[in-house]
Structure 1
């Protein structure tokens, strides 16, 4: 069998070598021919029992299909190359690099991940500085005092002859401001030490609640057939932060409602039959699209598609209400994301789904599906309360986009793209011109 680095391609090569029809293999494995076609073209991940069944019907050892470069490594190396501007021909050499020089490929992947982690850290610190009242107040006090000291020092330095009375006042101001500066700096140090003693360093209830859901990988088996009592039992395991527990309870009650509306086994059977297209699944299963997307984000950790799915739910103001992270696509927790995401476009047209193929600055490609729906029943004289939901699905590194992807970022603060008409603030990753031109008119 010809060697290839991707499992789907190896399955196809083995099937063709045996002169087996795609429909026959799909029927033997208990899946649809269309879903097997997606697997063979590396548009769907495959692992576990399904891969073992296909290996059996192809009369090949399970490990034979799994040999070669790790898919995650291939995607990381390819994305790192795309981020530096390598052309498509050069990107196709990633498999050969991994096969011939695995250590160098691993080094490239590690460096790319470190850069991504640093960007996420900058983004998180920017979020906290912007949205944490205590930290913002302390920082404001320090910066204001620094400005006052700078102003007084400038006057003293530029005015050789000053009336003794005024000189005494300036010295008094300088002494008082320097004491304020010391007190402000001490307050900030104390604040950070307090956060460190609290544990992982979460500064807001939103972060505490999000970390609790992340630790469970957003899947709660007891709620699949459970009740409100099971929700309270899980809330009791959440960190002892009243506001965070309220957020966790809201998320788990929504999970319970969704599980009753769409049982997990029915969803997984449908995925095996027709794939993971949310619009197709929602229509086939006759459930609201936002419910369907939340259930996809709640797939068990051992599901083949789980690693490639992320979810973000926001309110009409753009504040995040729920987030399921996805590798390679940083989702904001408190700050706004990229204005070009279909998530925000859906708020302009409630009830209408919006789908886009997105490419990030590092070259990674994702499919995004979003819809905005009322969160409460309409009431006369009151505005609609909308919640927008966006599902993000990673496209395999070797899958060529059918249409040209939309170039987006994660958030303006750490986006390296230039000449973006949607930019709302300068990026920390690109130099600011001496006389920047406004991208949009007000």
Structure 2
């Protein structure tokens, strides 16, 4: 097996932590020096064929997974960045890009970050027209920085996931009623009591540390109340672990650190209410039926779909899926892909994607077979969800969630039943976003792709008022 040079420091470190080894003990099991292992974990040296075989034999790391995941995401981000007209005189081939990602991932991340700063600068200047600002134009927003942190961590945080699963097992989840188990733990371990939030108080959760009272919105669904209780447990029990991870990320601003802390507590809440081993086993057994999984674990469809995108534990991975949440304007408010499909970092998603139809068919799960310009085919599932604070006059937030997998895994999903997976004509041609999609004949195109010259015929009008040369 020819692997080329592989820099898989994070995956090696995750495997070591999952087995509870120090660097010295792990290096001894692999038959290498501690200094060599330290260099591998910090991506200063690639892994050798001998180390790869030792990882597979002694720690059940699948070699087929070593170059996937974060490398695919980085390759997609780098490809999108270099599609910008800024680089019109440079058109690298896919093999060249793969070499950069594999051999110099730090350089690839730096280039992507520079391009993001350039894009933000350009967009803000366009929005402000001639208004000038002296600083901050090129910096990512704290929310964007934290979103990218989770994205390039494969949306899986090992220490937090293990802590959540350990707590779930200790209090009997999922066998016990989740809400009762969490409430009992909060009271017995921390002396925290659960009360209803005041009528008209528009909060999901409010904690008073002085009185040790946790107020929850009585009109929230049970799944939301359970999640908020688990979040509060993270605040009380995982401060050290969360602070360590946030500090290790080296964020640019204090705001990013605080948002990351929220994200890590949310991650813990998902890991408690949907504990890893129980959930991944149930997902296989129920063939990823979102409604059945939600009923079994007392969770919402969104919580289930999001959790499916985090099943990246070394040696126990779930089916690689993509997950995203959209608002009605087409903004992607959550996104992650463990599959080859990557979401556009700028601009809207492809209008041919079935997720946009979900708002027209509330309450229904819509299926779609789709093919991206690179020839990869997917099973896509989408549905509309609504969130309300309760009552006729309460505002109702509407979103659409999308979940899917490459067609090779479609048989693991109940949603593939009855679909002709072998008929290529059954797959709708979709793209990532118009600005990087090369499909010349798409009549839903919103904007021309970068690096393509346009031809306008004044005597001919087609659905798109130009053609690509």
- Normalised TM-score (structure 1): 0.53
Which position in structure 2 is the counterpart of 1:430? 452
The residue number in structure 2 matching 1:136 is 126
Q: Does 1:309 align with 2:321?
A: yes
Out of 279-288 and 381-390, give the one that drifted further: 279-288
Instruction: Identify the residue that residue 418 of structure 1 maps to in structure 2.
Output: 440
Which residue, out of 252, 258, 272, partners 2:270?
Answer: 258
- Work out whether 1:228 is the aligned partner of 2:240: no
* d(CA) in 2 for partners of 1:126, 1:114: 24
> Bigger shift: 287-296 or 210-219?
210-219
CA deviations on 1:103-122 (whole Å, 9 max, x unpaired) are xxxx9862475899999899
Cα separation, partners in 2 of 1:367 and 1:308, compared to 1, 3 Å:
same
Q: 1:115 to 1:392 in 2, by over 3 A?
A: farther
Please give the alpha-carbon distance, in whole angstroms, between the structure 1 residues aligned to 2:114 and 2:349: 14
Residue 401 (structure 1) aligned with residue 408 (structure 2): no
Q: Distance in 2 between matches of 1:231 and 1:266?
A: 22
Residue 323 of structure 1: aligned partner? 335
Provide the alpha-carbon RMSD of the alignment: 5.0
The structural deviation recorded for 1:278 is 4.2
Q: How far apart are 1:204 and its partner, in Å?
A: 2.2
Matches within 5 A, 1:156-171: none
Q: Distance in 1 between matches of 2:302 and 2:386?
A: 11
1:385 aligns with 397
Alignment of 1:165-314 (within 5 A): 203-218=140-155, 219=157, 220-221=160-161, 222-224=163-165, 225=167, 227-230=234-237, 233=240, 234=242, 237=246, 239=251, 241-245=253-257, 247-276=259-288, 278=290, 281-282=293-294, 287-302=299-314, 305=317, 308-314=320-326
Residue number in structure 2 paired with 1:361? 373
Q: Is the Cα contact below 8 Å between 1:223 and 1:231 reproduced in 2?
A: no
Mapped to 1, the partners of 2:374 and 2:113 lie a distance apart of: 17
Max Rg structure? 1
Task: Measure, in 1, the Cα distance between the counterparts of 2:446 and 2:301.
Answer: 30
Task: Quote the Cα distance in structure 2 between the aligned partners of 1:413 and 1:343.
Answer: 19
Shift of residue 247, structure 1, vs aligned partner:
4.1
Alpha-carbon distance, 1:126 to partner: 8.3
Q: 1:263 to 1:328 in 2, by over 3 A?
A: closer
The residue number in structure 2 matching 1:110 is 95
Give aligned pairs, total.
300
How far 1:123 sits from its partner (Å)?
Answer: 8.9
Deviation at 1:213, TM superposition (A): 1.7
| Deviation string, structure 1 residues 352-375 (Cα, Å, up to 9, x no partner) | 222222210010112222222123
Give the number of the structure whose residues are more often strand, by fraction: 2
Q: Is the 8 A contact 1:320 1:333 kept in 2?
A: no
Cα deviation, 1:192-221, whole Å, max 9, x if unaligned, reads xx78xxxxx752223211122235432332
Per the alignment, in what secondary structure is the counterpart of residue 396 of structure 1? Answer: helix
Q: Name the CA distance, whole Å, in 2 between partners of 1:242 and 1:66.
A: 38
The equivalent of 2:184 in structure 1 is none
**4+ long deviations beyond 4 Å:** 69-72, 111-127, 230-233, 274-286, 303-307, 397-400
| CA deviation vs aligned residue, 1:377-402 (integer Å, no higher than 9, x gap) | 24433542123222232233999924
Greater relative contact order (Cα < 8 A, sep 6+): 1
Distance in 2, Cα, partners of 1:204 & 1:371: 29
Aligned to 1:439: 463
1:44-99 deviations in Å (ceiling 9; x for gaps): xxxx9xx99xxxxxxxxx99x989x9997xxx9xxxxxxxxxxxxxxxxxxxxxxx
Could you list the per-position Cα deviations for residues 136-164 of structure 1 after superposition, in whole angstroms to 9, with x for gaps in the alignment?
368x449xxxxxxxxxxxxxxxxxxxxxx
Counterparts of residues 40-79 of structure 1 (less than 5 Å): none
Scaled by the length of structure 2, what TM-score is found? Answer: 0.50
Could you tell me how far apart the structure 2 residues matched to 1:398 and 1:370 are? 15
- Would you say the 8 A contact 2:388–2:394 is kept in 1? no
1:243 to partner: Cα distance: 4.3
Q: Sort the Cα spacing of 1:120 and 1:304 in 2 relative to 1 into closer, same or farther, 3 A.
A: farther
State the distance in 1 between where 2:328 and 2:114 align. 26
Residue 273 of structure 2 contacts residue 297 of structure 2 at CA under 8 Å; is this kept in 1? Answer: no
Runs (5+) with no aligned partner, structure 2? 1-52, 73-91, 102-107, 168-232, 412-419
Q: 1:342 aligns with which of 354, 366, 375?
A: 354
Q: How does 1:14-29 map to 2 (within 5 A)?
A: none
Question: In structure 2, do the counterparts of structure 1 residues 304 and 338 end up closer, same or farther at CA, with 3 Å as the change threshold?
Answer: farther
Contact 2:379 2:410 in 1 (8 A): no
SS of equivalent to 1:299: coil
Q: Is the 8 A contact 2:389 2:395 kept in 1?
A: no
Compare 324-333 and 247-256 and name the one that shifted more.
247-256
Alignment deviations for residues 201-242 of structure 1 (CA, whole Å, 9 cap, x no partner): 752223211122235432332344352335655267263535
